[in-house]
């Protein structure tokens, strides 16, 4: 947060973000703008699509169990990514 943003936030809202929250928001921003974060999201989407495409009628129960676990793991990672990231940026970062 620049000095001008800090002065503007203090003037407009009458308070400053705590130092701990500022550190957390900087860490979250560093992770969110990292290209490998986008790569992880794309990998989860592709893996989820492949796992869903492998499902068929006479599937081996062990394979079905492995696919179900893989699908749950991919969905857990995909739920970390907001559907409209720009909507949340203003509320997450001070």
pLDDT by residue (tens digit) across 29-55? 888 788 888 888 888 888 888 888 887
- Please state the domain extents for the chain: 3-92
pLDDT by residue (tens digit) across 8-22? 777 777 666 778 888
pTM summary value? 0.54
Residue 50: name the closest of 36, 70, 65, 69 by CA.
Answer: 70
Q: What ranges in the chain are assigned the alpha helix state H?
A: 3-13, 19-32, 35-53, 61-78, 85-92
């Amino acid at each position: 947060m620049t000095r001008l943003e800090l002065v503007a936030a203090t003037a407009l809202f009458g308070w400053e973000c705590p130092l701990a929250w500022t550190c957390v928001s900087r860490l979250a921003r560093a992770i969110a703008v990292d290209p490998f974060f986008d790569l992880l999201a794309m990998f989860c989407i592709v893996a989820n699509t492949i796992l869903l495409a492998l499902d068929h009628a006479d599937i081996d129960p062990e394979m079905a169990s492995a696919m179900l676990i893989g699908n749950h793991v991919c969905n857990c990672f995909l739920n970390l990514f907001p559907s409209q990231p720009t909507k949340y940026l203003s509320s997450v970062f001070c």
